[in-house]
Amino acid sequence: MSEQTAKDRNPQVLADNPTQFGLTPPATGSYRDNSLLYAAGDVVCWIGLPNNTAPPLGFEDPSGLTAATYKCCGWVDVSGYIFKLDETIKDIPAAGVLTPIRTILTGGTKSLQATFLEAMNPYVLALYDDVPVFPVASMPLKASTTATSALPINSATWIIPDPPLDNRYSLICDSIDGVKQERLYFPNVKVTARGNSQAQQGDIDTTDLTFTAYPGTIGANTAAVAQHTVNYGKAMATYFT
């Protein structure tokens, strides 16, 4: 193919005039806003009692929502959390056309995956081993305050249940980007997938957990699966007029 020269190009394209397409130059256009990009500078996850009477209404400090007794899962990997909305659909074909004439939504799940860095955090350990976290005062992972002949002080030993109980929790996941904030709240979750736990010399032992969300209670809504809250960090009136 011969190389295109300037004289072969459409004069309008050659001028790179975006108004040809009904657009203002990008530097002055109001339809794009880089202040609305989001890159989380920090991520924190909390677990609490399921279907509790103190769901977050906004960005309250979870430790102050006493009815749920939220506990922090500590440092999270730089990859943050991954929130997934999976839907199962069925296409309905018909004679005479190749394109389905209807698509039916037959199912769906909401899940969140995160990698926790504090492998010795008792709440993270309990979630991985599927041992109940609550009540924390009597959880099997509670550390000893005195030494015995077999266990030094600050130790614990427990049985990994087989089969485990149906351990359910509420889950809050927070992230921030400067003045922007995002919070995901799930009133009823269960750990349904776990990564490998690898004790090693060359790196830390991380804990990869996937939570699946189920219908629960948020205020008057008794079939709520998830609640999404954002702080845009700026005035947004132009988007809603």
Nearest to 127 by CA among 68, 198, 71, 52: 71
Per DSSP, 186 falls in state: E
Q: In Å, what is the CA distance from 211 to each residue of 15, 75, 109, 139, 167?
A: 53, 17, 11, 20, 11
Stretch 207-231: mean pLDDT: 96
Stretch 98-108: mean pLDDT: 96
What are the residue boundaries of the structural domains of the chain, listed by start?
A: 59-144+156-233
Residue 14 scores a pLDDT above 80: no
pLDDT band at residue 107 using 50, 70 and 90 as cut-offs: very high
| pLDDT, tens digit, 9 for 90 and up, residues 26-83 | 656 667 889 999 999 999 999 999 999 989 999 999 999 988 799 999 999 999 999 9
Q: Which two tokens stand for residue 79?
A: 């990859």
- pLDDT confidence of residue 241: 87
- Cα angle 122, 123, 125 (rounded to 5 degrees) comes to 60
Q: In Å, what is the CA distance from 235 to each residue of 30, 35, 45, 180, 182?
A: 14, 11, 28, 12, 16
Residues 6+ apart with CB under 8 A from 9: none
Segment holding 187, helix H or strand E: strand 180-194
Stretch 155-167: mean pLDDT: 95
- pLDDT confidence of residue 31: 73
The backbone torsions φ and ψ at residue 136, rounded to the nearest 5 degrees and listed phi first, read: -65, -25
Round the average pLDDT of the chain to a whole number and report it: 90
Lowest mean pLDDT among 26-35, 60-69, 107-116, 206-215: 26-35
- pLDDT confidence of residue 194: 97
- pLDDT confidence of residue 153: 96
- pLDDT confidence of residue 1: 47
| pLDDT, tens digit, 9 for 90 and up, residues 167-197 | 999 999 999 999 999 999 999 999 999 999 9
| pLDDT, tens digit, 9 for 90 and up, residues 134-148 | 999 999 999 999 999
- pLDDT confidence of residue 142: 95
The three-class DSSP label of residue 87 is strand
Stretch 1-29: mean pLDDT: 57
Model confidence, pTM: 0.85
Identify the bridge partners of residue 54 per DSSP, sorted by sequence position: none
